[in-house]
Each structure stands twice: as C-alpha cells, then as structure tokens.
Structure 1
Amino acid sequence: MTRTCRCLNCIIPPHLLRKLLESDNRQVRQAALNTLLNSARLRGQRSLRATLGIGLSAAPTDGRRSIFDCQNSTWLPDAVLARTEQGEASADISVNRAFDGLGVTRAFYREVLDRNSIDDHGMRLDGYVHYGASYNNAFWDGQQMVFGDGDGVMFTDFTSSLDVIGHELTHGMTEHVAGLEYRNQSGALNESMSDVFGSLVKQWSLEQTAEEADWLIGTEVFTPGIEADALRSMKAPGTAYDNATFGKDPQPDHMSKFVHLPDTEEGDNGGVHINSGIPNKAFYLTATGVGGFAWEAPALIWYEALKASGPATEFQEFADKTYLMAGELYRIGSVEQQAVLAAWREVGIRISGVTATQRRGRRRATTTGDGNSHEGDTLAVLARQIETLSSQVAALTKEVGTLKRKRVATEPGLPASSCPGNSRSARSENS
C-alpha cells in the first residue's frame, strides 16, 4: 500500500504547546519552544525518509522489542541500547515502562485483532526514552516510538501512560492498514483511531468493561499540580481540562460544533487533534450501547471498517462502513448494528441509505422497554406477510384456472381434459 501519511504523530497537540509559550514560567516557555522546534525538524526528516523510501521495510521479527536511552540527546543514532527481549529488567523505570507498554500493545494486536505487530508482518518495535531535554511529547515517526521526559512542571514522563503508548503505535497500524491522510477529516479519523485503540489497550490490560472504563486519554502525563483530567475525554469531548494554563478543551462532540481550521501546521492540519472528538464519542456510544467489553464487538467493527478505508476516507464514509461491518459481522438489525446507527446519529451523522422510517421500525422491532430482544415480533410480522402473499398467489391461480375453462368452452376442438378444472372428471371417466 502506498503510504500517504508522512506526518509526525505526536500525543500533545500543537495548540497546547503554543499556550505554554505564553506562560509566566521561563522554564515552561523554553521547554515548549524546544519541543515545537524539535517536532518541526523531525517532521522534515520523516517527510524526506518517506520520499526517498528509507526505512519503510525491515526484516520481520515477530514484534521484537528494543528500548534505547537517548540520554537527553535528540540524535537517535547515538542512543544506547537499554533493554531487549533477551535481557533483564533495567534499573531505569522509564525503560521498563516503555518495554512493557510496547509488549501489552503487541499482545493486544495479536490476541484481539489477530495482527502480527504494527504492520501485521512482525515489524520490530523500537522505543527511545529520555529524548531531548524537558521534551514535552511522545511520538511515532513511522519507524519507532519516542518518549520525552516532560518539563516536570506541566508534563511528566510520557512512558507513564499505557494508552499514550497504545495511541502512538496505532498511528503505525493505521498507516499500514488504510494510510489515512493526516489532514482535515481523514486526519481526525487517524487521531481518533489511535485514541480508540489506545484506550482499548488500557481497558484490555485492566479487564474493564465499557461502563467501568474512564475513557480518558493520557491521565498520567500531567503533573499533579495541573488541574486537568486528561488530554482528551472520549466519553465527553470538550471536558478533559479547563484551566488558566491551557484554556478549555476545544474538542467538539457533534458535527454541529465541527471546528474549521486551516490545513497548516499552525492549524493542526485542519484540527486533527480537535475534531477527533466526534468519532471518539461515536465509538464510546457504540461501546456502551453494545455493553460488555469494548475490545470485543465494537473494536472488531471499527478495525474492519478501518481495513475497508482509504487515505481520503472522511467521517460519513467511515460511519457507513462501521454500520455495514456491524451487519456483516453480527447480523443485519443486530444489537451491535443498532448501537452503531444510534451512536453516529447522536453525534450528528446519519448512516447513508437508512431512512427515518427504517430507523424507527428497527428500534421497535429490535428492543423493548427493558432492552430485551424483540426478534419474535419481527418473525411474526414476516410470517403474516408470507401468509398474505400465499393468499394472493392462490387467488391468482384460481383466476387463471377460470380463464382457461372459459377458453375451452369458446374454442371448439379442444378436449375437455385440457382444462385444469376438468381433470378430475376426465380421470373418473377413464377409470
């Protein structure tokens, strides 16, 4: 597949870092500036690698993990190997957390999605910790996962959040599966896929149901002194934080609130970290609508829809694909398909080809007040329809018979036995 996503996929959106440039704290301002400058340089490097085809393939290793220590340098080739699959645990907690996080995500891909690492061909998993000095981000650059330590004032060590690790590695999976362009709606879907599977990795590791999960992304990356729940809330986009430092969480939860931003670096490539709140909410609603573990039916529906997507897939097309995949995987009109339909409708997206009458009819046919299946009523309706059709066919057959008898009576030379209505008397006379 041709890869069209040549971006640097960072967990901290640029609008938060730019807010820190206004801080009264000189250390915070400098850390934010260094992070933005380093990120711009890395984006250029990745774009060049992708253009030249450098590092796009490697020998499969069944997802072998290697963790490197950058020792606060930003030059990855000088990083020191700190832990491998064959080695013992490190004395460095960041090394161990990165190693374990890569392992949990790899296991999730294998056991839940039946996928062999990021590319489904055993791609090696390399992680780099202690990147730069006070680097306020973590990112996937197309080849490896890189973690900053944070500035210690606003952000802490980014290896501390499992869903951040799952989020970033999923950018790699999305690139290999669909190549969603990192701009506008397709880019917001790209970000949403990472939030979805990042959250699911955490839920799976904790064995949480959809109702038990917090649906927050990156709760651990803020320092204790920052009044913020997380970077994003999938359950309630727009409520993850609201403070003087970062302002109010700008994520929308409905298409009527879609944020139109320029397709530039300053505009977050058309608001990819912002408008991802809409499909995020749709997944949360689907998961809670289905109930149980979100990494089961909801995850498989989203994964199959991703596999059916392409670089330019937008919200409407993806919503339609999830609805179709739910029907294919779990039966048309199933609880899973109805949960998908209702979830997208609640965020302002109507599934294509499903009329209001069909939606109302399906709701009546599939659920009762207590949420139980109403399949018996649906079958009864079908049985009545079949009975009506049978009666109509019988009446039509009788009418055809009458017409044939009239034709026999008016056309001399035709034997009476040729008339279906006289067959019984003809057999009697010959007996």
Structure 2
Amino acid sequence: MKTDQHLPIRPFLPPYLLERIAGSSDARRRDRAYRTLHDDQGLRARAGTAELPEGSSRRGEPVRHVHSAGHARELPGERVRSEGQPASGDPAVDEAYEGLGATYRLYWDVFQRHSLDDRGMALLATVHYGQEYENAFWDGRQMVFGDGDGELFKRFTISLDIIAHELTHGVIQHEAALVYADQAGALNESLADVFGSLVKQYRRGQDVESADWLIGADLFTERVEGRALRSMAAPGTAYDDPLLGRDPQPGHMRDFVDTRDDNGGVHINSGIPNRAFHLAAMALGGNAWEAAGPVWYDTLVDERQASRTACTTWPSAPKRRSTPDGHQCAAAES
C-alpha cells in the first residue's frame, strides 16, 4: 500500500465552505461549522485506527460492514448491518451499505478490481457520526458519514457519488503516491470525483449525454441556491448562495488558484482535471466507464507513475519544494 506516514483524512466538504458558514451571523450555524472544522482537524491524529474485519477471499464478492456511531465520535461504533443481511430500515445505514456495494460493482465489473486494495479488503463504514456533523471522509481504513444539519446539508449518505468519491480515495491510497496537497492533492480529489461520477453513471445506466456530471447533487437542502457541490462539466457553476458564496473552482489552467488554504487548493483546482475528464468523455461518447474511464484507471494503477506523481506540478502552475503539510518534494521536481 502506497500511503503517507501521516495520512490526513480526506473530507468531502472543503474547509473553505465550512469557514464561510462559521462566519454566519446565526449562532447555531457558526457552532455546527466550528465543531465540524475542529473534528476534521483533530481526526488526523486518530485516522486509520479502526481494526478491519476479514475481507473477501472470493473475487467478485464484497464484504461490507456498516456501523453506527450513535452520534458519538468513537469509531467504528456498533455494527448494524453486514454482508448479506436485510435492510435495517435506517436510511443512512442502508444507503451506506448500497453505496459500498455499488462502488465495489463498478471496480469489479469494469476493471476486475477486487475491493479497494484489489485483495478483497473489507468495506467498512460508520454512519451517524457526531452531533450534526457536516461532512464525510475517508480516514485511510474506513468511511465515516455525518448526518448534516438538516438546514443546509442533508445526510452525507444520500448521494451515491459522495460514497464512491470517498471510497476511491482508498483506491488511490493503495495505487498512487499522490500526496494530499497542492497539484498532487487536486489530482487526488479529481480522481475521486471521476470515479464517483462513474459509479453513479454505471448504477443508473447513463451514457455521457444523459449523465448530470454533478458531484453531491442531492446534498444541499432547498434553502441552498445550488445544484451540487461541484460540476465536472462546468466548474465554478455548481452553487451561488448568499451564505456559502460562489463555487470557486476553475476549469482551466489560466485560472489556477495559488493558495496555501485547503492543503494548497485540493478541492478548488480539482475542477481543472475534472473538466478535462468531462471533455474526454464527451469526445469519446457512449458510456464513460467503457471509454474514458479505463484510460484514467490504467494511468492510476500504472506502477511507473507512482514515483513521479507524489509532488506533481502541472504546466504553468507554481512550483514548490514542499507541500502545505511539510512533505518535501523530490529535487527533480523543484
């Protein structure tokens, strides 16, 4: 497994969005956002500590376990549904279970990949994390979902592409030395969006013309003026809300955002390779998982890329000798 020694969590909501809410005049909104930001910062020290149960020895068959944290912050929590068990009646539990399965199915049916590590790794998820926790994340070993606040965000299991996005961080962790910062981090986020969208398209049987190319389309409540958290087809247009602000993603390198925030703009500049994938998929046509998708997957799993992508610097992008979290880039890339 190729991973950082100090693996940060991969949160779905970027910190700049939560910081906007933390600046609200509403005390409850501020409190929820600050608590989520505090949790996200503190979780790095405890990331990846859950003990994984035995995986699947039979290729093509997943092993899923969904736990409930019961609104506490202990992971993984109480196991409430495992592989082959019937629906629990709890929407968050059952959405997580189905989302884990749908993600496994794309990777197996299309790429013959047996779980995140291609060795049958058990798929572990925890729902009902924290009190009105406004995020979801991959912590290096498992998925974690908050219930949202019900005012701006619905429960984070409600969008299949959110689940698939976060699980794809696990695939990237096992295949590529993409440091979660700067351009490499933006590529990491983009790959998670690409395969998150592919899982949704595959599950719905949508070709490139009928797909919405939105990430988190079901997450916002009706109080938010926005279609989704991100648009792969038109970065920068997903939302424009008085509280949340305007979607800051660029869709072209001429608009690249040079920032130290958000781990060097990992959630912002991912719009550039997202749009590149959308353009490629539309040009090739048909089903994206059969045409453009395999190109991106083959590049991700190509071992020749691992040593070259940890501190990737895109053409025309600012070059740094270290990432925001202190990782030192190779001299050849300086």
TM-score by length of 1: 0.69
Query: Which residue is 2:215 aligned to?
Result: 217
The equivalences for 1:328-339 within 5 A come to none
Quote the residue 1:186 is aligned against.
184
Write the distance in 1 (CA, Å) between the matches of 2:274 and 2:198: 12
Structure 2 counterparts to residues 382-397 of structure 1, below 5 A:
none
Instruction: Assess, with a 3 A threshold, how the Cα gap between structure 1 residues 181 and 27 changes in structure 2: closer, same or farther.
Output: same
Structure 2 CA distance for aligned equivalents of residues 210 and 66 of structure 1 = 32
Offset, 1:208? 0.6
Consecutive aligned runs of 4 or more in structure 1 exceeding 4 Å deviation: 54-59
Which residue, out of 272, 285, 293, partners 2:266? 272
Task: Name the CA shift for 1:157/1:203 in 2 (closer, same or farther; >3 Å).
Answer: same
Residues 1:67 and 2:66 are matched in the alignment? yes
Distance 2:95 2:50 in 1: 26
State the match for 1:157 in structure 2.
155
* 1:246 shift after superposition: 1.1
TM-score normalised over the length of structure 2:
0.88
Cα displacement (A) at 1:86: 3.2
CA distance in 2, matches of 1:21, 1:316: 33
1:286–1:298 CA contact under 8 A, matched in 2: yes
Partner SS, residue 189 of structure 2: helix
CA distance in 1, matches of 2:259, 2:285: 35
* Pairwise CA distance, 1:59: 4.2
Deviations 1:91-143 (A, max 9, x none): 21111111000000011110011100001000001111110000000111011
Indicate the residue corresponding to 2:20 in structure 1.
19
CA contact (8 A) 1:279 1:315 kept: no
- Residue pairs, 1:216-235, within 5 angstroms: 216-235=214-233
Give the whole-Å Cα distance in 2 for the aligned partners of 1:21 and 1:30. Answer: 7
Residue 55 of structure 1 and its aligned partner are, at CA, apart by 6.3
State the shift of 1:179 in Å: 2.6
Question: Residues 30-429 of structure 1 correspond to what in structure 2 (within 5 A)?
Answer: 30-46=31-47, 59-61=54-56, 63-77=62-76, 79-262=77-260, 267-308=261-302, 309-310=305-306, 311-312=309-310, 314=312, 316=314
State the aligned residue count.
Answer: 306
Structure 1 spans left out of the alignment, 5+ residues: 318-431
Q: Tell me, yes or no, if the aligned pair for 1:28 and 1:154 is still in contact at 8 Å.
A: no
* Higher RCO (CA < 8 A, seq sep 6+): 2
Output the CA distance in 2 between the equivalents of 1:192 and 1:115. 20
Shift of 1:44: 1.9
Q: Distance in 1 between matches of 2:183 and 2:234?
A: 19
- Counterparts of 1:63 and 1:131 in 2: how far apart (Å)? 24
Amino acid across the alignment from 1:41: G
Cα 1:196–1:225 change in 2 (3 A) is: same
How big is the alpha-carbon RMSD for the aligned residues of Structure 1 and Structure 2? 1.6
Structure 1 counterpart of 2:226, one-letter code: A
Q: What is the match of residue 353 of structure 1?
A: none
Q: What runs of 5+ residues in structure 2 fail to find an aligned partner?
A: 316-334
How far off is 1:57 after superposition?
7.6
* Shift in CA distance, 299/260, structure 1 to aligned 2, threshold 3 Å: same
Contact 2:22-2:33 at 8 Å conserved across structures: yes
User: Of the two, which has the highest radius of gyration?
Assistant: 1
Give, in whole Å, the separation in 2 of the partners of 1:55 and 1:158: 20
Pairwise CA distance, 1:197: 0.3
Equivalent-residue separation in structure 2 for 1:58 and 1:149 (angstroms): 25
Secondary structure of the corresponding residue to residue 76 of structure 1: coil
1:28 aligns with 2:23: no
Partner of 1:374: none
Q: Which deviations, in whole Å up to 9, do the C-alpha atoms of 1:372-419 show, x marking residues without a partner?
A: xxxxxxxxxxxxxxxxxxxxxxxxxxxxxxxxxxxxxxxxxxxxxxxx
Q: Which residue of 2 aligns with 1:3?
A: 3
1:228–1:306 Cα change, 3 Å: same
Alpha-carbon offset, residue 56 of structure 1: 8.9
Q: How far has the Cα of 1:313 moved from its partner?
A: 5.5
